[in-house]
Structure 1
Amino acid sequence: MRPTVAPFPTTRLRRTRRSAALRALTSENTLSVGDLIWPIFVRAGENIEEPVPSMPGVMRRSVDLSVEAVKEAAALGIPAVCIFPSPDISLKTELCEEAWNPDNLSNQLIRAIKAEVPEIAVMTDIALDPYNANGHDGIVRDGEIVNDETVEALVKMALAQADAGADILGPSDMMDGRIGAIRKALEENGHQGVTIMSYSAKYASAFYGPFRDAVGAAGALTGDKKTYQMDPANTDEAVRLIERDLMEGADMVMVKPGMPYLDICRRVKTEFGVPTYAYQVSGEYAMLMAAIQNGWLDHDKVMMESLMAFKRAGCDGILTYFAPAAAKILNAR
């Protein structure tokens, strides 16, 4: 039962806001470097660092320079990075075979990071879109994104990433049954300790556009993803998906996008009490950076406020392109 608040002037709620010290003592939520996961984009080649035009400050890097960037992230105390490949268009096929190639870009980078920066956790993306000639997260047959055949491909992709040394697998495809199939395969192939962070509530959102540019999937995409990603109008469905993925073996769950879906984050955390994460996606980042570059918003202030919103909504961590910049501010406090 909520306590009764005494009337003014007995109660002056501004008293606890009078100084930085009092505000610190009464702060309800805390953001730390340990809450941050940094998404990074890897491309082929050597000694290459190229900007993603629609995401100011974000780079595609070759494996060697990606490892150097991860070293810097680890030095800042960032606990995890998440790898997204931008493969050559020649590797995109109808059946997406490159997705489970042991020597594809993601797997090369996983091994390189674990060899040189073993203390940082490596998260991966499990979806076929970077390798798909059709740009979809699943295999396309006669215009339909087929579920069960896609799950078989995702299992092979997951095992290749686990074999390479991934710590956290991130199935982002939204196919039915893929968490159970991946968990079963991991158990049967000696990867009992590999963690699954399921993109359980991934919405068919317009906020992903810059990301698709970054991984080279935008031009290939035929149609939309509404037959497998969630309707933005739905909340109860998100709860059902979370419950299903937890029962199938997910260790952590994610809501994507982030800020437009903070209500989903709060509901998930309240109803399940499990490790809950959100992805501050490319469109969210691009909007903030566009306003920042125009001088309409203060970079550091709006960045930190946006990240605190996730903590206030109940998230245990945030995937964000702001991770290095935020870490520097948090470390300086």
Structure 2
Amino acid sequence: MLFPVVKEQKKSIYCEECYNENSYFCETLKKLKDKFTHDIVIYADVALDPYNVYGHDGIYDEKKREIINDISVHTLVKQSLCLAKCGVDVVCPSDSMDNRIEQIRKNLDFYGFKNILILSYTCKYASCMYTPFRSILSSNISHNFVKNKQSYQHDANNYIDLNNVKKHIKEGCDIVMVKPSLFYLDIISKIKSKLDEGTKVPIAVYNVSGEYVMIKNYVKSLNKDLNYENEILTELFKSYLRAGANIIITYFAKQYGLYMLNLYEKRIKVDDNSSSNFNVEITL
């Protein structure tokens, strides 16, 4: 899944850069698609915060101090169409605006992108676990950057509204997602158990930057090696699968993928993956 980091001078109130087909981000997408074609599936974030001078996921009215939902959705539709033209296979609206899934699906279909999938950030909580990622995005962002998005992201104190999940599916999303992951396994489980048996929509889970840092710092504090860290990841990822997730999005993807390849080549079962069995050297 790809996210843009946008220069300050490219940001604006109405986020026009997000649908600029000649932007650095879009040119990168085109080159990836041209080089790898069918060898990779490209997921790309759909949201306005990287392009927004205020750092919000939607168009912000400074006078009223509120997000303008309908204008935001219109811009997100334009962004989704732009990404589809540039070779993205799965658009991932992470913005939490109302009715954006329906509008994105309708417009993708109308303009001939019926095969483009939509991964909806169906359950995106206003969490403390995003800070490392946001610090990267905000490293050169103006003083207007807004860290609190509680007016449109889900309240971490509340249970999930399953009607909202079903609404997104009805509007045309192909994958639903829960973010963050570690403290929300109950949400994954509830979605899995409550979806109709005939509903074959995969559930994705996002192992976010704060969770990544927690594991990295824990392993470092114990002076343990990468093999030990991968054992932790195996335990963590299995918990996602037990809860009902079908797709795991993680910053550990390359590291853990190489680890699993090593297991496969040495014919070691994942259940026997204690660090005493083998040694893995991974260059990241």
Q: TM-score, normalised by structure 1?
A: 0.73
Match of 2:173 among 225, 250, 257: 250
**Given the alignment of the two structures, is residue 310 of structure 1 paired with residue 237 of structure 2, yes or no?**
no
1:58-207 alignment runs, 5 A limit = 82-118=1-37, 119-141=39-61, 142=63, 143-207=65-129
Write the deviation string for residues 83-140 of structure 1: whole angstroms up to 9, x where unpaired: 0111111111111111111122331221111111221100010010000000000010
CA distance in 2, matches of 1:261, 1:295: 26
Task: Indicate the residue corresponding to 1:280 in structure 2.
Answer: 207
**Given the alignment of the two structures, is residue 327 of structure 1 paired with residue 257 of structure 2, yes or no?**
yes
**Given the alignment of the two structures, is residue 212 of structure 1 paired with residue 100 of structure 2, yes or no?**
no
**Given the alignment of the two structures, is residue 222 of structure 1 paired with residue 146 of structure 2, yes or no?**
yes
CA distance in 2, matches of 1:278, 1:269: 12
SS in 2 for 1:169: strand
> How far has the Cα of 1:329 moved from its partner?
1.6
SS in 1 for 2:98: coil
Confirm or deny: 8 A CA contact 1:100 1:157 kept in the other structure. yes
> How far has the Cα of 1:296 moved from its partner?
5.9
**Which one has the bigger strand percentage?**
1
SS in 1 for 2:158: coil
CA distance in 1, matches of 2:172, 2:50: 25
| Amino acid across the alignment from 2:177 | M
CA distance in 2, matches of 1:286, 1:223: 19
Q: Which has the higher contact order (CA 8 A, sep 6+)?
A: 1
Task: Indicate the residue corresponding to 1:300 in structure 2.
Answer: 230
> How far has the Cα of 1:294 moved from its partner?
2.1
CA gap 1:117/1:223 in 2 versus in 1, 3 angstroms: closer
> How far has the Cα of 1:223 moved from its partner?
5.5
CA distance in 1, matches of 2:13, 2:112: 30
Q: Larger radius of gyration, structure 1 or 2? A: 1
CA distance in 1, matches of 2:110, 2:207: 34
Confirm or deny: 8 A CA contact 1:84 1:215 kept in the other structure. no
| Amino acid across the alignment from 2:87 | G
Task: Indicate the residue corresponding to 1:289 in structure 2.
Answer: 216
CA distance in 1, matches of 2:46, 2:252: 22
The gaps in structure 2 that reach 5 residues or longer are 264-284
Confirm or deny: 8 A CA contact 2:55 2:147 kept in the other structure. no
| Amino acid across the alignment from 1:331 | L
SS in 2 for 1:121: coil
CA distance in 2, matches of 1:176, 1:97: 20
| Amino acid across the alignment from 2:125 | Y
When the two structures are aligned, how many residues end up with a matched partner? Answer: 251
SS in 1 for 2:176: strand
SS in 2 for 1:264: helix
